Amino acid sequence: MMDRRTFIGAVVGALLAVPLATAAQQAGKVPRIGHLSLNSAEASPHFHAAFRQGLRERGWIEGQNILIEYRFAGGKVDQLPTLVAELIRLNVDIIVTTSSATTRAAKDATKTIPIVMASVNAVDEGFVTSLAHPSGNITGMTFLVGPEIAGKHLELLKEVAPAASRVAVLTNPTNGSHPALTRELQVAARALGVQLQFLEARSPEQFDDAFAAMTRERAAALLVLTDAMFIGQRRRIVDLAAASRLPAMYHQREFVDAGGLISYGASVSDMFRRAATHVDKILKGAKPADLPVEQPTKFEFVVNVKAAKALGLTIPQTLLLRADEVIQ
């Protein structure tokens, strides 16, 4: 027979075992999250998996006590307003955005539904007034800690390809963070004695022309600026760089995983996982304006030795020792 103390202990244990996240479910409503992506569902499934992992860590289980409505634009920016409208009609509680383009589409569509950015350059794009006090209905993660990272990329690229005096830079004119990055690159280029060649691609259809221009202008190396469309097309970009015999530097490790040479930047997967924290807090009553936009804390420096050998390059040992991961 269970005595009073044992009974109370059992009840308390059972209550503690119930995730706080079930409060909304017990109230008769299962929260619905809109998840808006510029690229296709197949482009970066590990990002979405990381977001779901972050939710699970806070007691939210997809299909049980939370629903996620995914919308993918397949790389077509003009489809985003339609997809946002669909999410709004579904009365989602929060819209999670995964790029500058998706955040802009959501921002234009609603001033009331909370928007959580999973991987965006928040300040340069004008989505928040400041990281500490975002104001409005937008908060989340900011991808770039500052444009000075572009100078670091150029320095690393020169260490890998020291003879490269002319470096091509692939940009997207629709990306609001690129002007600050290009200005920083120009400062770094003067210090390193490098001539830069800026090439634009606002859609995958313009990649061939951009790489053809790199060949005509005798570029000796390539730096690819961070962009959601670029990461969705990373395998094609990596293949074009290899065909053009260009040592290339990228912001995200996903390019190196696809066969690229070298990357340095914030872990996008970690940012997606951490974005779930903002979702959790908002579902528990917090206002987006009161939640500071968080900066990345996990950075990755990844080197692909196999890609280097294919280009006839030898990665300096000092660089390999600094790498977080070396792909053989």
pLDDT in tens, 184-230: 999 999 999 999 999 999 999 999 999 999 999 999 999 999 999 99
CB 106 within 8 A of CB 85: no
Given a cut of 50, whether residue 9 has pLDDT beyond it is: no
User: Two tokens at 226?
Assistant: 């961070």
Residue 229 has a CB neighbour count (10 Å cut-off) of 22
pLDDT in tens, 142-155: 886 667 889 999 99
Query: Nearest to residue 207, comparing CAs of 170, 252, 262?
Result: 170
Q: CB-based contacts of 14: which residues, under 8 Å, 6+ apart?
A: none
Q: What pLDDT was estimated at residue 4?
A: 40
Provide the residue count of the chain: 328
User: Two tokens at 48?
Assistant: 């979405």
User: Two tokens at 238?
Assistant: 């990596």
% of the chain exceeding 70 in pLDDT: 90
Segments making up each domain of the chain, as ranges:
29-144+268-298, 149-266+300-327
CB 251 within 8 A of CB 263: yes
CA distance 76 to 99: 13
Transcribe 74-118 into DSSP letters. TT-GGGHHHHHHHHHHTT-SEEEE-SHHHHHHHHHH-SSS-EEEE
- Domain formed by 149-266+300-327, architecture: 3-Layer(aba) Sandwich (3.40)
Domain 29-144+268-298 = CATH 3.50.50.60: no
Q: What is the mean pLDDT of residues 102-119?
A: 96
Q: What is the mean pLDDT of residues 123-142?
A: 87
Q: What pLDDT was estimated at residue 148?
A: 82
Cα separations in angstroms, 281 against 59, 94, 139, 288, 291? 12, 11, 11, 9, 9
Given a cut of 80, whether residue 112 has pLDDT beyond it is: yes
Query: Nearest to residue 35, comparing CAs of 24, 22, 45?
Result: 45
Q: What pLDDT was estimated at residue 250?
A: 98
Q: What pLDDT was estimated at residue 309?
A: 96
Tell if the pTM clears 0.95, that is, is over it.
Answer: no
| 29-144+268-298 against 149-266+300-327: fold identical | yes
Give the rounded distance of the alpha carbon of 207 from its chain centre.
21
